[in-house]
């Protein structure tokens, strides 16, 4: 078996692969471009990819030996699943293992923006801390505020559990209402417009799909409260960046915390970064030692299971596996 891995990942995954297969790893800190990836993965049976790699019909046609694409991520908008299925290629992901760590980061961003942590630390570092300032660095309370969760999936629910500890009132919107979760988590359903109008904090937890691309634009941002804070730890293109910039510049909302952006990475001279109440982290929501190790391990288990003819723990198109064994 030959497996190509598109970046150095934790040993928890690489060791598993190396015990079972010949493994080639892209060694650079930046992702391979298409030609480099094709060269790396020439003759490979399996690909272990990251969200930075676009996997589509063209790539698969250039790598006809590949039987499985195992994405080390819960999101899979970088993969054309239909093109994979059409070619009998299994697509696997790493859900669940990153839920709590991602929710931790969403909450960290929410608190950091509201309490102006980075902005005030910048002042301390620049020698600007002169005294206790009764009017300095004021921001909205987190405890007792209203949080609107857009997408009450695994990560949205984990954010709701954290918010309960802060005595927040929690609203949610979702494709369908979730009466059981409403009772269990103490959350109330609103449609998107209602949620945006009532929430002090709005946190996005939907996958990027054609239906959610550009979900938060000018009209939605204008519905938000002038004191509100928007948090995005899902995918950048869910929010329209130009509209967000306008919202911040015009004071339609109070602050923004982004772990994902569009474009991604956001160039250092992007006008959004000039605003003190915009806090951006470089897509690090799952970046704890433990979670990245679990993601690598699960991604490795997925690829090995498919190549061994076993059922992989997390597969998006299991019909491909049935087809193989038929």
Cβ closer to ligand GLV: 220 or 281?
A: 281
Q: Tell me: does residue 73 bind ligand GLV (CB under 6 A).
A: yes
143 is catalytic: no
Cβ closer to ligand GLV: 94 or 220?
A: 94
Q: Shortest distance, CB of residue 189 to ligand GLV, whole angstroms?
A: 25
Q: Tell me: does residue 106 bind ligand GLV (CB under 6 A).
A: no
Q: Shortest distance, CB of residue 77 to ligand GLV, whole angstroms?
A: 8
- Assign 3-class secondary structure to the chain: CEEEECCCCCHHHHHHHHHHCEEEECCCCCCCCHHHHHHHHCCCCEEEECCCCCECHHHHHHCCCCCEEEECCCCCCCECHHHHHHCCCEEECCCCCCHHHHHHHHHHHHHHHHCCHHHHHHHHHCCCCCCCCCCCCCCCCCCCCEEEEECCCHHHHHHHHHHHHCCCEEEEECCCCCHHHHHHHCEEECCHHHHHHHCCEEEECCCCCCCCCCCECHHHHHHCCCCCEEEECCCHHHECHHHHHHHHHHCCCCEEEECCCCCCCCCCCCHHHHCCCEEECCCCCCCCHHHHHHHHHHHHHHHHHHHCCCCCCCECCCHHHHHHHC
Query: Binding mask 245-284 vs ligand GLV (x if CB under 6 A, - otherwise)?
Result: ----------------------------------------
235 is catalytic: yes
Catalytic: which of 264, 270, 275, 277?
Answer: 264
Cβ closer to ligand GLV: 75 or 217?
A: 75
Among 3, 14, 66, 74, binds ligand GLV (CB under 6 A): 74
264 is catalytic: yes
Q: Which has the closest alpha carbon to 147: 124, 134, 164?
A: 164
Q: How far is CA 312 from CA 237, 244, 289, in A?
A: 30, 40, 24
For residue 230 the two structure tokens come to 């928007």
Q: Shortest distance, CB of residue 45 to ligand GLV, whole angstroms?
A: 24
Candidate ranges 3-11, 73-81, 105-113, 153-161; the one touching ligand GLV (CB under 6 A) = 73-81
Q: Tell me: does residue 299 bind ligand GLV (CB under 6 A).
A: no
Measured between alpha carbons, how far is 307 from 73 in angstroms, rounded to an integer? 20
Q: Shortest distance, CB of residue 204 to ligand GLV, whole angstroms?
A: 12
Among 51, 69, 231, 266, binds ligand GLV (CB under 6 A): 51
Q: Tell me: does residue 286 bind ligand GLV (CB under 6 A).
A: yes
Measured between alpha carbons, how far is 178 from 292 in angstroms, rounded to an integer? 30
Q: Shortest distance, CB of residue 182 to ligand GLV, whole angstroms?
A: 26
Candidate ranges 67-75, 132-140, 171-179, 308-316; the one touching ligand GLV (CB under 6 A) = 67-75
Q: Tell me: does residue 98 bind ligand GLV (CB under 6 A).
A: yes
Catalytic: which of 162, 223, 235, 314?
Answer: 235
Candidate ranges 1-9, 71-79, 140-148, 155-163; the one touching ligand GLV (CB under 6 A) = 71-79
Q: Tell me: does residue 228 bind ligand GLV (CB under 6 A).
A: no
Among 31, 75, 88, 227, binds ligand GLV (CB under 6 A): 75
Q: Catalytic residue positions?
A: 235, 264, 283
- Residue ranges that bind ligand GLV, judged by CB under 6 A: 51, 73-75, 98, 286
């Amino acid at each position: 078996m030959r497996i190509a891995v598109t970046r150095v990942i934790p040993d928890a995954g690489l060791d598993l692969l190396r015990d079972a297969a010949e493994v080639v790893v892209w060694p650079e800190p930046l992702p391979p471009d298409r030609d480099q990836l094709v060269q790396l993965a020439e003759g490979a049976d399996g690909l272990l990819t990251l969200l930075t790699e676009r996997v589509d019909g063209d790539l698969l046609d250039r790598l006809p030996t590949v039987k499985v694409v195992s994405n080390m991520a819960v999101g899979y908008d970088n993969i054309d699943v239909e093109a994979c299925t059409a070619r009998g290629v299994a697509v696997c992901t790493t859900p669940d293992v990153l839920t709590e760590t991602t929710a931790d980061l969403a909450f960290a961003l929410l608190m950091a923006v509201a309490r102006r942590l980075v902005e005030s630390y910048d002042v301390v570092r620049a020698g600007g801390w002169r005294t206790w300032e009764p009017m300095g660095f004021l921001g909205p309370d987190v405890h007792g505020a209203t949080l609107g969760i857009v997408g009450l999936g695994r990560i949205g629910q984990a954010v709701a559990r954290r918010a309960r500890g802060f005595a927040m009132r929690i609203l949610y919107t979702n494709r369908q209402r979730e009466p059981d979760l409403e009772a269990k988590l103490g959350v109330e359903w609103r449609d998107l417009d209602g949620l945006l109008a009532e929430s002090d904090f709005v946190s996005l937890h939907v996958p990027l799909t054609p239906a959610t691309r550009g979900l938060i634009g000018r009209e939605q941002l204008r519905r938000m409260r002038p004191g509100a804070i928007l948090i995005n730890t899902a995918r950048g293109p869910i929010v329209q960046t130009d509209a967000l910039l306008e919202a911040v510049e015009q004071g339609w909302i109070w602050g923004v915390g982004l772990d994902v952006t569009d474009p991604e990475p956001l160039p250092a001279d992007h006008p959004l970064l000039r605003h003190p109440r915009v806090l951006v982290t470089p897509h690090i929501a799952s970046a704890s030692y433990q979670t990245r190790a679990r993601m690598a391990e699960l991604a490795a288990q997925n690829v090995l299971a498919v190549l061994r003819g076993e059922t992989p723990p997390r597969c998006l198109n299991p019909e491909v596996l049935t087809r193989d064994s038929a």
